[in-house]
Amino acid sequence: MGIEFENKKEGVTMKCMRCGNNAYQSRTTEAIELGNGVLVIRNIPCYKCEHCDEVMFTGDIIQQIERIIAEAKQRMEQVSIIEFEKSA
């Protein structure tokens, strides 16, 4: 799924966990398999490695993603597409 936990304060430059190069602030889209359906979350704030395109999320973003996943599971839709900003 590409989610890695990195417990760093906001504003601190992230280092890629795969290759160690600098990661810059970006946005990404994640597709998550729920078993009974697929959840797509668009425009998630993330850090992306400038070298290998590894995507990393901060702890509070991961918490919010987990909340969106929990809500999507309750709805049991086959395909859910959610904008990250609107779900905040």
CB of 13 vs Zn ion, minimal distance in Å = 13
Quick one: 15 or 73, whose CB is closer to Zn ion?
A: 15
The three-state secondary structure class of 67 is: helix
Asked if 16 interacts with Zn ion (CB under 5 A), we say yes
CB 3 within 8 A of CB 57: yes
Q: Which of 22, 24, 52, 66 binds Zn ion (CB under 5 A)?
A: 52
Q: Which of 5, 8, 13, 19 binds Zn ion (CB under 5 A)?
A: 19
